[in-house]
C-alpha cells in the first residue's frame, strides 16, 4: 500500500490532504509540521491509525536532516511513493516589485524553494524514495509568469518570485531525480485560489475541491508528465 509524505500538514491544504488520504486506512501517511509545539488537534481528528506526526521545519537544514532520520525509523524499510512538498509561506503579500525587502525575499526562498529542494535531496540520499516516486512541489498560479502577466495590478511579489523559482526547481529535479530513479516523476502543482488562511480574502475554492482534484491528478501522473506544471483540474499550466 502506498506511503505519502505531506509537509505542512497541520492546517490548510496539508490538513485537507491528510483528511482525504486517511479515508483509505491502508495508506501510510507521514504528516509534518514546523515545530513539535504545533497544535495538531485538527489534523489528528482527521488522521488514520497509520498516520505518523513528525517535525520538519523546511527553513532549517538541520530540521530536515533530523526529519529524514525519523522517517527512516518510522518506515522500517518501506519507501516513499508520494512526496508532497506542501509547506510554504506568504508572509508579506503587500510587498511589490518596487518595495521588496531583501530579508523577506530570502525567507520566502529559504522556505518555498530551498526547503523542497533539500527535503527531496536528503530523502533521496537516504534511499527512502521509491523507484517510481511521485514528487509534487506545491507552487501557485502566481508561480506562472504567463498567469502573472494577466493579473493587474501584480500580486504578492516575493511569494510569486519564490513560487516561480520552485517551478524552475521542479524542472531541474525532473531530470536529476530521474537519473537516480528511472521511474520517478516530478511536477509542480497549482492548487488554485483556495479558502485557507494563506488564501485570504477573495479565495474561491473549497479545500475539498482543490485537494480532491490534485489527488486525482497526482494518482494519474505518467512518465510523460515528468517536469510539467499542472493545476488542480489536471490541466497543464503555462510557465
Domain membership flag for residue 143: yes
pLDDT on residue 201:
66
pLDDT on residue 162:
98
Range of the domain at 84: 3-231
Domain membership flag for residue 238: no
Domain membership flag for residue 24: yes
We report the CATH number of the domain holding residue 200 as 3.40.50.720
pTM strictly above 0.85: yes
18 within 8 A of 47, measured Cβ to Cβ: yes
Domain membership flag for residue 236: no
Q: How many domains does the chain have?
A: 1
pLDDT on residue 196:
74
* Per-residue model confidence as pLDDT tens for the chain (239 residues): 899 999 999 988 999 999 999 999 999 999 999 987 777 788 889 999 899 999 999 999 999 999 999 999 999 899 999 999 999 999 999 999 999 999 999 999 999 999 999 999 999 999 999 999 999 999 999 999 999 999 999 999 999 999 999 999 999 999 999 999 999 999 999 998 787 766 666 667 899 999 999 999 999 999 999 999 999 999 999 99
pLDDT on residue 197:
65
Amino acid at each position: 500500500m502506498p506511503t505519502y509524505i505531506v509537509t505542512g500538514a497541520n492546517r490548510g491544504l496539508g490538513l485537507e490532504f491528510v483528511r482525504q488520504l486517511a479515508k483509505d486506512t491502508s495508506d501510510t501517511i507521514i504528516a509534518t509540521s514546523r515545530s513539535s509545539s504545533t497544535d495538531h488537534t485538527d489534523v489528528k481528528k482527521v488522521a488514520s491509525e497509520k498516520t505518523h506526526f513528525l517535525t520538519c521545519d523546511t527553513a532549517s537544514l538541520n530540521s530536515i536532516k533530523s526529519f529524514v532520520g525519523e522517517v527512516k525509523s518510522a518506515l522500517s524499510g518501506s519507501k516513499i511513493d508520494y512526496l508532497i512538498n506542501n509547506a510554504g509561506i506568504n508572509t508579506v503579500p503587500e510587498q511589490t516589485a518596487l518595495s521588496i525587502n531583501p530579508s523577506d525575499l530570502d525567507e520566502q526562498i529559504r522556505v518555498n524553494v530551498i526547503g523542497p529542494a533539500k527535503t527531496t535531496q536528503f530523502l533521496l540520499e537516504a534511499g527512502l524514495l521509491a523507484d517510481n516516486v511521485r514528487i509534487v512541489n506545491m507552487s501557485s498560479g502566481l508561480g506562472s509568469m504567463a498567469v502573472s502577466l494577466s493579473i493587474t495590478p501584480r500580486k504578492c511579489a516575493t511569494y510569486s518570485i519564490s513560487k516561480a523559482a520552485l517551478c524552475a526547481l521542479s524542472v531541474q529535479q525532473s531530470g536529476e531525480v530521474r537519473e537516480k530513479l528511472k521511474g520517478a516523476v516530478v511536477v509542480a502543482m497549482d492548487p488554485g485560489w483556495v479558502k485557507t488562511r494563506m488564501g485570504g480574502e477573495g479565495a474561491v475554492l473549497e479545500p475539498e475541491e482543490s485537494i480532491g482534484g490534485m489527488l486525482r491528478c497526482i494518482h494519474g501522473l505518467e512518465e510523460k508528465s515528468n517536469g510539467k506544471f499542472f493545476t488542480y483540474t489536471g490541466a497543464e499550466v503555462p510557465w
